[in-house]
């Protein structure tokens, strides 16, 4: 048994992930399939809340993946929305990996990039399985922060063709910045920013919601009459009447019915969960199908097992290329 402990920095993690986004998406897909096959343990996240700072939280996501690449661990992720106005990202995180046999922690990874990448991986998988092809006429992005950037980069990095990009943010300067600094001009015929969410919704064949809205503000199912695919990443933008008029896919039915997400509010309104038509893993396995005669909404709650799957892959890559910071005496006094 070696008791090495590796620390892996964000720079290394960024390089590994951005060099192979397709592999990152594959790892996320495998984790979804493992979860569906009950080869995971993924308890509820624990929210540390502060009475005097209602917008801030730190969330613990413990999880375990069994099988050949088995690993346990925990992501500890902070969300402080005011950070954005200070000029740095809202979320910061670490991921601890534990050995499946001994329980010993063997690595600590910067995890804001892992978290954003696994979220983008889910979004790309959702887009792939719900549109059926890696091209769309129009991609709308509502909320143009860091998660939106990762999702856009992952779509582009995995070969998606997008004719037109439509951007909308509550802060118009954020949409302008995204158009200027993030969008790859040579990949699109047109990039526009729009001042109202209705135009963004109505014009988008594929719609990404990546805001920090705490409660629904999109109420009109009529905006979705053109049957778009919606990647409901921020989870709280859509009112129950929109979900009730749509085909709904989730990552895990029990997990997503929490914390006043749109599916949770819809369950409270409807008194049941029958508006959920399947999980992303069931689409991948062919045991569920999408209904293209209605809007399709993918609401992934985000599970710790995805962070573990991506974190384990990044750990292997960093260690095999000697890019981890290894501490051989992290665990000391190991005699009994
Ligand atoms: N489902 C998942 O697995 C998962 C994982 C990670 C993050 N998220 C969610 O993704 C969201 C985005 O995270 P981020 O790190 O990019 O945040 P961020 O603060 O960097 O960006 C959010 C952007 O949304 C804009 N915005 C806020 N309210 C809006 C509204 N009503 N309409 C339009 N724009 C609005 C803000 O101005 C900001 O530019 C968060 O809600 C986060 O919880 C989900």
Q: What is the CATH number of the domain that holds 45?
A: 3.30.1780.10
pLDDT 10s digits, 158-210: 999 999 999 999 999 999 999 999 999 999 999 999 999 999 999 999 999 99
* CA 147 to ligand 1: nearest atom: 16
Name residues whose C-beta falls within 8 Å of residue 135's C-beta, 6 or more positions apart in sequence.
160, 161, 162
Are 309 and 265 contained in the same domain? no
Contacts of 152 (CB under 8 A, 6+ apart): 139, 141, 165, 178, 182, 183, 208
Let me know: does 248 contact 297? Beta carbons within 8 Å. yes
Calpha distance 40→53 (Å, rounded): 34
Q: Using the predicted structure, report yes or no on whether residue 291 has a pLDDT greater than 80.
A: yes
Share of the chain above pLDDT 70, in %: 100
Q: What is the pTM of this model?
A: 0.98
Residue whose CA is at the smallest distance from ligand 1 atom 25: 143
- On whether both 219 and 314 belong to a single domain, the answer is no
- Among 79, 122, 171, 210, say which to mutate for ligand 1: greatest number of ligand atoms within 8 Å of CB: 210
In a domain, 245, yes or no: yes
pLDDT at 68: 77
Distance of alpha carbon 175 from alpha carbon 184, whole angstroms: 14
* Shared domain check, 58 and 16: yes
Answer yes or no: do 132 and 105 share one domain.
Answer: no
- Taking 90 as the threshold, does the pLDDT of residue 131 lie above it? yes
| CA–CA gap between residue 128 and residue 29 (Å, rounded) | 11
Say how many Å lie between the CA of residue 210 and the centre of ligand 1: 4
Q: Are 41 and 59 in a shared domain?
A: yes
Q: Is residue 334 part of a domain?
A: no
Same domain, 314 and 252: no
If asked whether residues 86 and 141 sit together in one domain, one would say: no
Q: Are residues 181 and 290 in the same domain?
A: yes
The first and second tokens of residue 88, run together, are 């740095």
Count of the separate structural domains present in the chain? 2
Answer yes or no: do 9 and 106 share one domain: yes
Domain that holds residue 135: 121-299
149 Cβ below 6 A of ligand 1: no
- Label residue 36 by pLDDT band (50, 70, 90): very high
Q: Residue 336: inside a domain, yes or no?
A: no
Cβ of 147 closer than 6 Å to ligand 1, yes or no, is: yes
Q: What is the pLDDT of residues 51-83, one digit of tens each?
A: 999 999 999 999 999 987 799 999 999 999 999
| The pLDDT of residue 2 | 84
Q: Are both 317 and 291 inside the same structural domain?
A: no
Confidence grade of residue 121 (pLDDT, cut at 50, 70, 90): very high
- Going by CA atoms, what residue is nearest to atom 18 of ligand 1? 145
Ligand 1 atom, smallest distance to 301 CA: 1
Nearest CA to ligand 1 atom 21: 145
Q: Is 213 in the pocket of ligand 1 (CB under 6 A)?
A: yes
**Ligand 1 site, residue 169, Cβ cutoff 6 A:** yes
pLDDT confidence of residue 69: 76
In a domain? residue 254: yes
Does residue 105 lie in a domain region? Answer: yes
Span 288-293, mean pLDDT? Answer: 96
Residue 143 CA, ligand 1 centroid: distance in Å:
6
């Amino acid at each position: 048994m070696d008791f090495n402990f590796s620390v892996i920095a964000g720079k290394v993690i960024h390089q590994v992930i951005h060099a192979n986004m397709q592999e990152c998406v594959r790892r996320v897909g495998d984790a979804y399939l493992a979860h569906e096959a009950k080869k995971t343990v993924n308890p509820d996240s624990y929210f540390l809340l502060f009475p005097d700072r209602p917008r801030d939280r730190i969330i613990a996501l413990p999880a375990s993946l069994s099988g050949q690449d088995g690993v346990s661990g925990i992501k500890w992720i902070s969300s402080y929305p005011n950070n954005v106005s200070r000029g740095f990202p809202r979320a910061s995180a670490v991921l601890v990996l534990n050995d499946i046999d001994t329980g010993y922690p063997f690595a600590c990874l910067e995890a804001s990039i892992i978290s954003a990448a696994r979220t983008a991986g889910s979004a790309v998988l959702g887009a792939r399985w719900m549109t059926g092809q890696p091209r769309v006429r129009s991609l709308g992005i509502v909320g143009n922060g860091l998660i939106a950037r990762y999702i856009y980069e992952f779509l582009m990095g995995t070969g998606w063709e997008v004719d037109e990009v439509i951007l909308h943010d509550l802060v118009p300067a954020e949409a302008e910045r995204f158009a200027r600094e993030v969008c790859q001009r040579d990949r699109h015929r047109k990039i526009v920013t729009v001042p109202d969410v209705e135009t963004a919704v109505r014009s988008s064949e594929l719609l990404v919601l990546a805001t920090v809205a705490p409660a629904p503000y999109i109420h009109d199912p009529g905006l979705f009459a053109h049957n778009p695919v919606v990647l409901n990443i921020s989870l709280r933008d859509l009112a129950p009447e929109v979900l009730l008029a749509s085909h709904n896919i989730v990552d895990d039915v029990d997990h997503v019915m929490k914390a006043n997400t749109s599916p949770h509010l819809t369950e409270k309104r409807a008194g049941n969960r029958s508006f959920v038509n399947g999980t992303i893993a069931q689409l991948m396995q062919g045991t569920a199908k999408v209904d293209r005669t209605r809007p399709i909404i993918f609401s992934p709650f985000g599970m710790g097992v995805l962070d573990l799957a991506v974190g384990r892959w990044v750990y292997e890559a960093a260690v095999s290329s000697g890019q981890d910071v290894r501490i051989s005496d992290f665990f000391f006094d190991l005699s009994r």
